[in-house]
Amino acid sequence: MALLKFRVYWEEDDAIYRDVLVKHTQNFQDLHLIILKAFEFDQKHDATFYRSNDTWKRGREISKEVYDRPYKVAPLLMAETIIGTEIIDTNQHFIYEYDFVKSWSFLIQLIQVIKNSDADMSLEYPLVSRIEGVGPMQYGTKGLLGEKFADIEEKYDLNEAAEGFGEEGEEEDKADDNDDADDDTEEEDNNQESSGSGFFEGEAF
């Protein structure tokens, strides 16, 4: 048995990558899951691998399932395809595509084969052995507080609180308007009293 170390690059920025270790006897379903874990993606979407070469040309698919779309050649299935059987080159290449709507693409290159005698078999494989760069966010951009902020937002319902702040502000504005109106009324009353005193004095009521 041997361990295979793959370097998985985000297609849009090769400075962002993850190294993963898998047993050569494990299947592409295992590789699929460890890549998602490495980039902190969920497991909700469709996915496929492509055999590839040094120029990253897409070849036969090794797919999560057979999808309703045209194929030149029927795909192999991840759960049935052993990784070692697809290694024909010392720097074997694959392309991994996840979520066909968003079309997340990753470039995979075999960078090391570790013989059984040199492998740490006390570890559970597959595993992530190296992380470089801040990976892409699957759903939008994560705030500075990340998931903790989401927990705070849910606990305190910040949207509702924000509306409450708006209402309180409106009430204060209304109170200020009422105060202004009271001041205007009081001023008018004073004017009427000062000017009206002469008027009433001239009339016999």
Residue 18 Cα distances to 63, 195, 202, angstroms: 21, 87, 98
Chain centre to alpha carbon of residue 52: 27
User: pLDDT per residue over 179-197, tens digit each?
Assistant: 555 555 555 555 544 444 4
Give CA–CA dist 129/7, Å, rounded. 10
- The answer for residues whose C-beta is within 8 angstroms of residue 12's C-beta and 6 or more apart is 136
1-5, 42-46, 130-134, range with the lowest pLDDT: 1-5
Task: Tell me the domain boundaries of the chain.
Answer: 2-136, 151-202
Give CA–CA dist 169/174, Å, rounded. 9
- The answer for residues whose C-beta is within 8 angstroms of residue 71's C-beta and 6 or more apart is 61
Give CA–CA dist 7/130, Å, rounded. 9
Give CA–CA dist 17/6, Å, rounded. 10
Superfamily of domain 2-136 in the CATH hierarchy: MM3350-like (3.10.290.30)
Question: What pTM was estimated for this model as a whole?
Answer: 0.68
pLDDT over threshold 90, residue 136: yes
Give CA–CA dist 79/113, Å, rounded. 22
pLDDT at 1: 78
Residue type, 187: E
- The answer for residues whose C-beta is within 8 angstroms of residue 103's C-beta and 6 or more apart is 97
CB atoms inside a 10 Å sphere around CB 192: 11
Give 7's pLDDT tier (boundaries 50, 70, 90).
Answer: very high
Tokens of 45: 């979407």
Mean pLDDT calculated for residue range 150-162: 50
Q: If 0-12 CB within 10 Å is exposed, 13-18 middle and 19+ buried, where does residue 123 land?
A: exposed
Give CA–CA dist 194/184, Å, rounded. 15
User: pLDDT per residue over 48-102, tens digit each?
Assistant: 999 999 999 999 999 999 999 999 999 999 999 999 999 999 999 999 999 999 9
pLDDT at 121: 83
